[in-house]
């Protein structure tokens, strides 16, 4: 099987999100159901979530029915994601679980309508900061990866209802917070607080830098007696006044 997603050789399931799916917390996605397992195209999952699966024919693909997908599952030990995936901006649910992904491209933030993202059971060691720009996300599953830290930008995901982090070698501080009551919300607040502190520090550093530049512009005399090198200001495009 080709390791690139969205190839005709890959097995995918598509369909509209049921009202039950929208109203309930979502669980981990399984492999696409076979016709024998799901002859009428519907199956009740253990957590009560009802999902519709449909395999598109060549004629339907030729008619562009893929543009109507709202859910997409990609399975089969996938290691790389095709750039064409980021063009499916109409998707509201994306299941990338049970693959061999080691990296999640920052372009995933282009899927701005996603409310559900499952990337459990992969080999991710880090997450792109751009994940924090996906403000429509309500359910994010990161279980059973190799994550040690989380980007502070995840704190911006104010719509998150479900955050799955089990099975990751997270820092003791994050792990402790996660297993508290309302741990997911507490982690998001923790990340947001640190993100705010990060921006404040950057602003302070910028102010100090501007202050140094202002002082350097006013500099008329510079003592370099104790230095190993001599700086010739004439080599630079600006002049001290």
CB 41 within 8 A of CB 63: no
Instruction: Convert the pLDDT of each residue in 190-226 to its tens digit.
Output: 888 887 655 544 545 555 555 565 555 655 555 555 5
- Domain-located, residue 198: no
The token pair at 182 is 């309302």
Radius of gyration in angstroms for the set of CA atoms belonging to the chain, rounded to a whole number: 25
Instruction: Convert the pLDDT of each residue in 92-102 to its tens digit.
Output: 999 999 999 99
Which residue spans within 83-196 are E strands per DSSP? 93-95, 116-118, 139-141, 162-164
Q: Which residue has the tokens 């059971």?
A: 121
- Domain-located, residue 237: no
**What percentage of the chain has pLDDT greater than the value 70?**
53
CA–CA separation, 83 vs 56, rounded Å?
21
- Domain-located, residue 76: yes
Q: What is the CATH number of the domain that holds 48?
A: 3.80.10.10
Which residue spans within the chain are E strands per DSSP? 42-44, 50-52, 71-73, 93-95, 116-118, 139-141, 162-164
Instruction: Using alpha carbons, select from 149, 133, 105 the residue that is nearest to residue 4.
Output: 105
- Domain-located, residue 241: no
H or E stretch covering 213: helix 183-217
Q: Is the pLDDT of residue 30 over 50?
A: no
- Domain-located, residue 149: yes
The token pair at 22 is 């929208």
Ranking 19-28, 58-67, 110-119, 201-210 by mean pLDDT, the lowest is 19-28
DSSP-assigned beta bridge partners for residue 4:
80
CA 141 and chain centroid, separation: 10
Q: Per the structure, how many domains does the chain have?
A: 1
DSSP 150: -
- Domain-located, residue 78: yes
Instruction: Convert the pLDDT of each residue in 122-145 to its tens digit.
Output: 999 999 999 999 999 999 999 999
- Domain-located, residue 143: yes
Phi then psi dihedrals of residue 178, to 5 deg: -60, -35
- Domain-located, residue 196: no
Domain limits at 45?
A: 19-174
The token pair at 183 is 């741990």
Top-confidence residue, 18 or 53: 53
The token pair at 46 is 């253990």
CA–CA separation, 33 vs 55, rounded Å?
10
Q: Please classify residue 158 by burial: count the beta carbons closer than 10 Å to its beta carbon, then call 0-12 exposed, 13-18 middle and 19+ buried.
A: exposed
């Amino acid at each position: 099987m080709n390791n690139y997603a969205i190839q005709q050789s890959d097995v995918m399931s598509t369909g509209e999100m049921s009202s039950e799916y929208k109203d309930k917390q979502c669980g981990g996605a399984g492999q696409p159901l076979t016709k024998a397992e799901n002859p009428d195209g519907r199956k009740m999952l253990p957590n009560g979530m009802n999902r519709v699966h449909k395999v598109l024919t060549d004629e339907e693909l030729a008619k562009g029915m893929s543009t109507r997908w709202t859910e997409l599952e990609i399975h089969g030990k996938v290691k790389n994601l095709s750039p064409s995936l980021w063009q499916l901006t109409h998707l509201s649910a994306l299941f990338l679980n049970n693959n061999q992904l080691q990296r999640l491209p920052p372009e995933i933030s282009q899927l701005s309508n996603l409310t559900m993202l499952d990337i459990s059971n992969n080999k991710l060691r880090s997450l792109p900061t751009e994940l924090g720009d996906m403000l429509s996300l309500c359910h994010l599953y990161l279980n059973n990866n190799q994550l040690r830290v989380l980007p502070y930008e995840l704190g911006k995901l104010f719509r998150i209802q479900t955050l799955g982090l089990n099975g990751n070698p997270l820092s003791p501080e994050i792990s402790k917070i996660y297993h508290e009551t309302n741990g997911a919300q507490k982690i998001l607040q923790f990340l947001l607080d640190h993100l705010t502190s990060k921006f404040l520090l950057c602003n302070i550093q910028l102010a100090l830098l501007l202050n140094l530049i202002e002082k350097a512009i006013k500099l008329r005399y510079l003592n370099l007696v104790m230095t190993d090198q001599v700086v010739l200001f004439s080599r630079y495009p600006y002049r001290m006044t």
